[in-house]
Chains A and B, each alone.
Chain A
Amino acid sequence: MDFPFIKEAISQLFSKSSCAMYPAAESPAAPNYRGRIVYHPDRCIACGMCERVCSGNAITRRVEKTDEGDKITLTFNLGSCTFCATCADFCSRNAIEFTGDYHMVATKEEDLLVSGSFIKKPPAKKPAPAAKPQAAPAEAPKETPACAVVPREDGKPVSDPSKCVYCTLCAKKCPAGAIEVDRAAKTWALDEEKCVACGTCAEVCPKKCIIM
Chain B
Amino acid sequence: MFKKLIAESAAKSPWLFHINAGSCNGCDIELVSVLTPRYDAERLGFKLAGSPRHADIVVVTGPVTTQSLPRVLRAISQVPEPRCIVTMGSCPQSGNVFRGSYSVAGPLSKYVHVDVDVAGCAPKPEAVIDGLALATKILKEKRGR
Question: A residues within 8 Å of B by Cβ?
Answer: 18-20, 22-23, 27, 29, 33, 35, 55-58, 77-83, 102-107, 109, 111-112
Given the complex, which residues of B lie within 8 Å of A23, measured CB to CB?
A: 44, 129-130, 133
- Whether the pair A27, B126 counts as a contact (CB closer than 8 A) is yes
Choose from A29, A58, A107, A111 the contact partner of B138 (Cβ within 8 Å). Answer: A107
- Whether the pair A112, B121 counts as a contact (CB closer than 8 A) is no
- Whether the pair A104, B120 counts as a contact (CB closer than 8 A) is yes
How long is the Cα–Cα vector from A23 to B40 in the complex, in angstroms? 11
Identify which of B4-12, B54-62, B71-79, B94-102 touches chain A: B94-102
How long is the Cα–Cα vector from A104 to B131 in the complex, in angstroms? 8
Given the complex, which residues of A lie within 8 Å of B133, measured CB to CB?
A: 23
Known contacts A22-B129, A103-B127; A79/B97 CB under 8 A: no
1/0 contact string of B73-97 vs chain A (CB within 8 Å): 0000000000000000010011111
- Whether the pair A105, B97 counts as a contact (CB closer than 8 A) is no
How long is the Cα–Cα vector from A107 to B115 in the complex, in angstroms? 6
- Whether the pair A106, B116 counts as a contact (CB closer than 8 A) is yes
How long is the Cα–Cα vector from A33 to B127 in the complex, in angstroms? 13
With contacts defined as CB atoms under 8 Å apart, how many contacts are there between chain A and chain B in the complex? 91
A113: min CB distance to chain B, Å: 10
Tell me whether B37 is interfacial, beta carbon within 8 Å: yes
- Whether the pair B96, A20 counts as a contact (CB closer than 8 A) is no
Given the complex, which residues of B lie within 8 Å of A82, measured CB to CB?
A: 90, 96-97, 121
How long is the Cα–Cα vector from A83 to B122 in the complex, in angstroms? 9
Known contacts A18-B38, A105-B127, A107-B134; A80/B93 CB under 8 A: yes
How long is the Cα–Cα vector from A19 to B117 in the complex, in angstroms? 25
- Would you list which residues of chain B between 1 and 58 have a CB under 8 Å from chain A? 37-40, 43-44
Choose from A19, A80, A102, A104 the contact partner of B40 (Cβ within 8 Å). Answer: A19
- Whether the pair B120, A102 counts as a contact (CB closer than 8 A) is yes
Across the interface, name the chain B residue whose C-beta is closest to A108.
B117
Given the complex, which residues of B lie within 8 Å of A79, measured CB to CB?
A: 90, 93-94, 117, 119
Q: What would be 20 A-B contacts, judged by CB atoms less than 8 Å apart?
A: A19-B37, A20-B39, A20-B126, A22-B126, A23-B129, A23-B133, A35-B120, A56-B90, A77-B94, A78-B119, A80-B95, A82-B90, A102-B120, A103-B126, A103-B127, A104-B118, A104-B119, A105-B127, A105-B131, A107-B117
B99: min CB distance to chain A, Å: 6
How long is the Cα–Cα vector from A211 to B91 in the complex, in angstroms? 43
Across the interface, name the chain B residue whose C-beta is closest to A100.
B124
- Whether the pair A105, B117 counts as a contact (CB closer than 8 A) is yes
- Whether the pair A102, B116 counts as a contact (CB closer than 8 A) is no
- Whether the pair B94, A105 counts as a contact (CB closer than 8 A) is no
Given A20-B126, A105-B131, 9 additional A-B pairs, CB 8 A: A20-B38, A22-B126, A56-B90, A82-B90, A104-B123, A105-B130, A109-B93, A111-B117, A112-B93
